[in-house]
Amino acid sequence: MLKRLYDWTLSLAARPWAAGALGAVSFAESSFFPVPPDVMMVPMTLSRPDQAWRYAAIATVTSVLGGLLGYAIGALLYDSVGQWLFDLYGLSRGAEAFRAAYAQHGHWIILIKGFTPIPYKLVTITSGFAGYDLFWFVVLSIITRGARFFFLSALLSRYGAWIKDKLDRHFYPIAIGAVALIAMGFVGFRYLL
pLDDT recorded at residue 143: 96
- 47: in domain: no
Q: How far is CA 24 from CA 16, 154, 166, in A?
A: 14, 22, 28
- 93: in domain: yes
- 42: in domain: no
- Which residue stretches of the chain have pLDDT < 70? 1-3, 5-10, 12-13, 82, 89, 91-95, 98, 117, 179, 182-183, 185-193
pLDDT recorded at residue 172: 74
Q: For residue range 96-143, what is the model confidence (pLDDT) as tens digits?
A: 776 777 777 888 888 888 877 677 888 898 889 888 999 999 999 999
pLDDT recorded at residue 191: 57
- 20: in domain: no
- 22: in domain: no
Q: Model pTM greater than 0.85?
A: no
Closest C-alpha among 53, 80, 62, 69 to residue 22: 62
- 9: in domain: no
- 4: in domain: no
- 19: in domain: no
Domain count, the chain: 1
Domain that holds residue 169: 52-192
The Cα–Cα gap between 30 and 71 comes to 9
**Is the C-alpha dihedral spanning 159, 165, 42, 38 positive or negative?**
negative
